[in-house]
Amino acid sequence: MIPFRNPRKPYFQAMRNLRIRLILILFGFSLLSFDGGGNYFEISKNIDMFTTMYKELNSYYVDDIEPNAFMQRGMDAMLEGLDPYTVFISEADIEDYRFQTTGRYGGIGCYVRQYNNHIVVSEVIQGYGAEEAGIKGGDRILVVDGIDVQGLATAEVGDIMRGEPNTKVTMRIARLQANGEYAEMEVYPSRQEIQVLNVPFYGMINENVGYIKLSNFMENAAAEVESAFLELRDGNAQMESVILDLRGNPGGLLREAVKICNLFIEKDELVVETKGRLSEWDAEFKTRDNPIDLEIKVAVLINHSSASASEIVSGTLQDLDRGVVIGERSYGKGLVQTTRPLSYNAQLKLTTAKYYIPSGRCIQALNYAERREDGSVGRIPDSLIQEFTTRNGRRVYDGGGIMPDLEVEMPAPSDIALTLLSEHLIFDYATIFQSHNTSLPQSPGEYYVSDSLFSAFADWLRTQNFNYTTQSEDALESLREKSKEDGYYEAIKETLEALDIELSRDKGSDIDKHEDELRQLLNEEIVRRYSFEQGSIKSSFQYDQQIQRACYVLNDDATYNAYLQP
């Protein structure tokens, strides 16, 4: 049999090889102007090997190679060996990256998720098209602008709903009714420029203590914090202190962090210094303006998810003894990223420096420069941790995030709570509640799930046939497998089976055992349906231990001042 040959294949192959040769030639020219920091020969040699290998694979590999995907995998693998913050941003991902820094996009103002084969509205943003059109959390989205979205990924549905501001969207949704059935309806939300707020909530916890929740450090974060603070102070004559809540804040723009510090500290104070491998990345960032308040007492809340710019603000106020830091040890990200332009509208976000707060410490926790044999990254060893001092002489340390002045650990979520959240059962019951209640009986700060409502929720949960594995069950299963390997299983089999039965019996009472935790989660979700994110945050004040401890410290001058002294 004579093998079939495509008469045009040699032409296509020749053209593809020509393109690759052109790429390699351009690669060579780019090397002529490349500053390799003294490693020119090594860089040139490795790029030459890489391009030669790429050409050989393209020419002789048994299957056709898709150049973009192939090169993308290579770049991703190369960057994985550095740190998780150094990433390639393709032209297709530029808009998402811009949103991360500006918080702006064109859309209707709601978040969606996919579960149980439905696209469901998980949250509505107050003041935008979705709210104005009457869309509610728990609504199922069926059709968007004539496109059936059932079976589509969440990202695809989001792309369909986004678009130019001042354009209408036609949507068919289904809403749960009090009789348990879903009723279909059409809604016509308008797309608008959505500005995700850095400060989703601010208000007074009591007559003396103000509260500002800062969720991001995107553009205008400092202006939002300043506006919130001035409104609280000017509208509440008895306000003596403020809580700045940075819990769960992953960071963002360095300049916004410096401006926020400037609200409470003198002009020309050093906030952060950056030091890189190249001297061009060395810089000092000082406050430039007069502060708005040097006297008010400040408490900063942080937790394990407070990172980067959050740590600059909390660490600076701690180093200058300008506020008391309360909560849990922060994440420990002391690396600075810079975006560099690449060809074809792509960008490279890369780590160019480490930052150091006023005491001189860097709070980076993980040492990406020295990996273990398996490629994993370890924390800075204790032997390398150094001691520094605050302005008043208090001892602080580098290498592990910001350690709070007053440590208040929040309890870890229980296994049953994690299961109810991941399987959307708390969300679903809030949807049922919403189908029977057009409004909350009290304001968000006063409403709390009643005993009768929680009892009804618990009864409903027991009909849902949800299942989960506790840590104790995991440990027991590990013991069972290990005993089989070691030959002891038969000797302890009856004991293990008895423990199995006891654990199952005990797990049956988990709803009652974790009532307080589940009640709080249900309360926040129900309030969110009527008062949006702002109401959900306010409702949490009733049982938030870290906020309560912060209020205690702020309301007692002697206690507050004691935390700021050695």
Helix residue spans in 107-162 (DSSP H): 129-132, 154-161
**pLDDT (0 to 100) of residue 10:** 45
Residues 405, 445: one domain?
Answer: no
Spatial contact of 394 and 402, defined as CB atoms under 8 Å apart: no
Give CA separation, 484 vs 127, 471, 495, 503, in Å: 61, 20, 14, 21
* CA separation for the pair 402, 365 (Å, rounded): 10
pLDDT category, 381, cuts 50, 70, 90? Answer: confident
- Decide if 402 contacts 329 (C-beta within 8 A): yes
400 & 518 share domain:
no
CB-based contact 311:333 (threshold 8 Å): yes
Is the pLDDT assigned to residue 20 strictly greater than 60?
no
147 and 270 share one domain: no
pLDDT for 345: 86
Contact criterion met (CB below 8 Å) for 110 and 124: yes
Q: Which residues, including other chains, have CB under 8 Å from residue 458's CB and lie 6 or more apart?
A: 511, 512, 515
**353, 539, 342: which is closest to 443 by C-alpha?**
539
Range with the poorest average pLDDT among 277-291, 333-347, 547-561: 333-347
For residues 454 and 397, state if they share a domain.
no
Statement to judge: residues 212 and 172 lie in one domain: no
Q: With bands split at pLDDT 50, 70 and 90, how would you rate the model's confidence at 286?
A: very high
Q: Is residue 98 part of a domain?
A: no
Q: pTM (2 decimals)?
A: 0.86
Reduced to 3 states, what is the DSSP secondary structure of residue 229? helix
* CA neighbor of 73 nearest in space, from 60, 52, 88: 88
What gap in Å lies between CA 238 and CA 205, rounded to an integer?
Answer: 12
Residue 275 lies in a domain: yes
CA distance 493 to 484: 10
Q: Other CB atoms closer than 10 Å to residue 3's CB: what's the count?
A: 4
Query: Using DSSP, how many helices (H) and how many strands (E) does the chain show?
Result: 18, 23
Domain-located, residue 97:
no
Give the C-alpha separation, 251 to 78, whole Å: 25
In this prediction, residue 324 carries a pLDDT of 99
Residues 405 and 473 placed together within one structural domain of the fold:
no
Question: Measured between alpha carbons, how far is 399 from 371 in angstroms, rounded to an integer?
Answer: 16
CATH code, domain with 125: 2.30.42.10
Of 140, 174, 195, the position where a domain reaches its end is 195
Model confidence at 444: pLDDT above 50: yes
444 versus 295: which is more confidently predicted? 295
Where helices occur in 463-540 by DSSP H, the ranges are 471-486, 489-507, 510-513, 515-539
Cα 68 to chain center, whole Å? 29
Share of the chain above pLDDT 90, in %: 65
For residue 529, give its domain range: 411-566
26-51 as b/e: b if 16+ CB within 10 A: eeeeeeeeeeeeeeeeeeeeebeeeb
Question: Can you tell me the distance from the alpha carbon of 79 to that of 350, in angstroms, rounded to the nearest whole number?
Answer: 9
308 and 404 in a single domain? The answer is yes
d(CA 437, CA 431): 10
**Tally of CB atoms within 10 A around 111:** 15
Top-confidence residue, 391 or 474: 391
Are 562 and 496 contained in the same domain? yes
Q: Do 181 and 250 fall into the same domain?
A: no
Select the more confidently predicted residue: 506 or 69: 69
Determine, yes or no, domain membership for 436: yes
- Angular region, 441: left φ>0, alpha ψ -120 to 50, beta rest: alpha
Q: Is residue 1, in this structure, part of any structural domain at all?
A: no
Lowest mean pLDDT among 86-95, 111-120, 253-262: 86-95
- Flag whether 557 is in a domain: yes
Give the pair of three-digit tokens for residue 557: 């001058």
Which one, of 425, 448, 410, lies nearest residue 540 by Cα? 448
| CA angle (406 as vertex; 400, 412 as ends), nearest 5 | 70
What does the pLDDT read at residue 2? Answer: 38
Residue 438 · residue 401 · CB < 8 Å: no
pLDDT in tens, 159-182: 999 999 999 999 999 999 999 999
What mean pLDDT, rounded, does the chain reach?
Answer: 89
Is residue 383 pLDDT above 80, yes or no? Answer: no
Number of structural domains the chain divides into: 4
What are the angstrom distances between the C-alpha of 292 and each of 319, 407, 414?
19, 28, 42
Closest by CA position to 170, among listed 194, 142, 205: 142
Q: Are residues 349 and 223 in the same domain?
A: yes
From 430-434, 455-459, 506-510, 542-546, the region with the lowest mean pLDDT: 506-510
Across the range 134-145, mean pLDDT stands at 98
Is residue 92 situated within a structural domain?
no
Cβ contact 144:157 at 8 Å:
yes
User: Where does the pLDDT of residue 26 fall: very low under 50, low under 70, confident under 90, or very high at 90 and above?
Assistant: very low
CA neighbor of 106 nearest in space, from 232, 193, 174: 193
User: In this structure, are 133 and 150 located in the same domain?
Assistant: yes
Whether 70 maps to a domain, the answer reads no
Q: Are 309 and 298 in contact (CB under 8 A)?
A: no
Q: Domain check: are 398 and 474 in the same one? A: no
64-76, pLDDT tens digit by residue? Answer: 988 888 888 888 8
CATH classification of the domain holding 249: 3.90.226.10
